[in-house]
Amino acid sequence: MKIIYKLCCIIILLAIYNHGFAQKATDYTLDISKINQSEANLHIVCSFTIDFQARDSLSMRFGGNNTFSIDNLDIPEDSLFKYQYNPASQTIVFHKTKNKVVPVKMAYDYTNLSAFFIYGEGRAEIWETSFNEYYYPCIPNTCIDLHLNIEVPASLETICSYPIETISSTQYHCDLNRVLSQSLNFAFIQKNAYIHTIEEIPYRMDIYQISGMQCNKARYDELLELTQASVSYFSEIYGDSYLSAPRRISSYPIFLFHDGKGFSNRYNIGFISASQEKFSTYPNIYPLVHEIGHRWLGEWTLLIDDGEPGAYFIKESLNEFMTLMFLRHYYGEKLYRSLIEKYAQEYLQIKDTPQDEPFINIVENNNNIIVYNKGPLVLDWIAQEIGYENLTKTISQFYRENAGKYPLRYSDLIKLLNKTYPDKKALFEKYL
Ligand SMILES: [Zn+2]
């Protein structure tokens, strides 16, 4: 008993140490300038206060490509701290010399080729940490208060993941309380290249389309209809409305359509970015419902790290299955079955090949068929056994219990399923 008591005390103390007294950066201000900066470049001035607590150093993620992302780094060192920037590991480490609490100010130029190649061709540039571009120093999966100032030339407009105040046509400001430190995203778009429309459906929705590439009226109306219907459906299923004060979500999705290629659809909290060409020409826009679904299930709420077993089943497959559940609810069983059948055909093409990997092996988003086809397919097989309503209820419970919690693991989902359906353990073991 004594040993168990001691162990418990140690675990509690460790938990307090890790969470209650963890070192942190506060008073965080980020000044971002696009003035006289070429495409995919920013000048950044960043200041914060470090509290080392009981430790001697604080490590933050910082930088992207190790040869060119950070230039002209200027951090006036004084007797209060030393620092070490490690481009290869994309980290900056601050070392304590005397005081526990020290102010830091740093200035640098940042080159982000992901922003350019993925979205580019010059008309939109999207800045996000998701492709390992830590364009400002941060401690991932912790919350910060952030003061953000953005300055752009008059030819650009800024769209941000969080509400920003427009100070003038070239200056923006925002104060954020307790946001996920790595979750700041924004887009710069060339004003004259975009057509901006505003709808009330009944809530305000902004849509930015590339001039000359806009969709037709039927497609535009489909976007309004599907957005409204899916937002209502997901709000009800998850018991958590789209707008959320605790998650700092204060407006309905802004859609930004760009001419980027490749893996281009993104949910960026305040705005959804996707390919203009696909939006205007593809047979359906169901992938945009998937992006809306990421408001609830995805990288900003389910904090499972890349590299963790099953990371992309948690971050993507669950949301794709719930997208299908919305389509089933909205259009009916027939459409749903035809989509599931397509997913099954896709999966059959790689079945029993080396690409047919178990979900736990997918630790990066590098196997589309397993993540986006086999994942929902297997969830469909499970739903056939336990009931569709039951499975969506359990996924909803998983969201409510785990949103914003770090760390999260694939095994947390399996545990919840086993606990909820103890007589189906063999089924989950076989498929998941
Ligand atoms: Zn996704």
How many Å lie between the centroid of ligand 1 and the Cα of residue 288? 9
| Average pLDDT of every residue of the chain | 92
Query: What are the tens digits of pLDDT across the range 11-67?
Result: 444 443 344 456 788 889 999 999 999 889 999 999 999 999 989 999 999 999 999
pLDDT at res. 117: 64
pLDDT at res. 168: 94
How many Å lie between the centroid of ligand 1 and the Cα of residue 428? 23
Superfamily in which the 23-182 domain is placed by CATH: tricorn interacting facor f3 domain (2.60.40.1730)
How many Å lie between the centroid of ligand 1 and the Cα of residue 16? 34
pLDDT at res. 14: 43
How many Å lie between the centroid of ligand 1 and the Cα of residue 4? 43
Domain boundaries, the chain: 23-182, 192-293, 311-431
The secondary structure of the chain, three-state, reads: CHHHHHHHHHHHHHHHHHHHCCCEEEEEEEEEECCCCCCCEEEEEEEEEEECCCCCEEEEEEECCCCCCEEEEECCCCCCEEEEEEHHHCEEEEEECCCCEEEEEEEEEEECHHHHHHHCCCCEEEECCCCCCEEEEECCCCEEEEEEEEECCCCEEEEECCCCEEEECCEEEEEEEEEECCCCCEEEEEHHHEEEEEEECCCEEEEEEECCCCCCHHHHHHHHHHHHHHHHHHHHHHCCCCCECCCCECCCCEEEEECCCCCCCEECCCEEEEEHHHHHHCCCCHHHHHHHHCCCCCCCCCCCCCCCCCHHHHHHHHHHHHHHHHHHHHHCHHHHHHHHHHHHHHHHHHCCCCCCCCHHHCCCCCCHHHHHHHHHHHHHHHHHHHCHHHHHHHHHHHHHHHCCCCCCCHHHHHHHHHHHCHHHHHHHHHHC
The segments of the chain whose pLDDT lies below 70 read 1-22, 116-122, 262-263
CATH architecture of 192-293: 2-Layer Sandwich (3.30)
pTM recorded for the entire structure: 0.93
How many Å lie between the centroid of ligand 1 and the Cα of residue 190? 26
How many Å lie between the centroid of ligand 1 and the Cα of residue 372? 9
pLDDT at res. 1: 44
How many Å lie between the centroid of ligand 1 and the Cα of residue 95? 38
pLDDT at res. 118: 62
How many Å lie between the centroid of ligand 1 and the Cα of residue 48? 33
How many Å lie between the centroid of ligand 1 and the Cα of residue 316? 5
How many Å lie between the centroid of ligand 1 and the Cα of residue 306? 14
How many Å lie between the centroid of ligand 1 and the Cα of residue 337? 21
How many Å lie between the centroid of ligand 1 and the Cα of residue 315? 7
Query: What are the tens digits of pLDDT across the range 132-169?
Result: 999 999 999 999 999 999 999 999 999 999 999 999 99
How many Å lie between the centroid of ligand 1 and the Cα of residue 292? 9
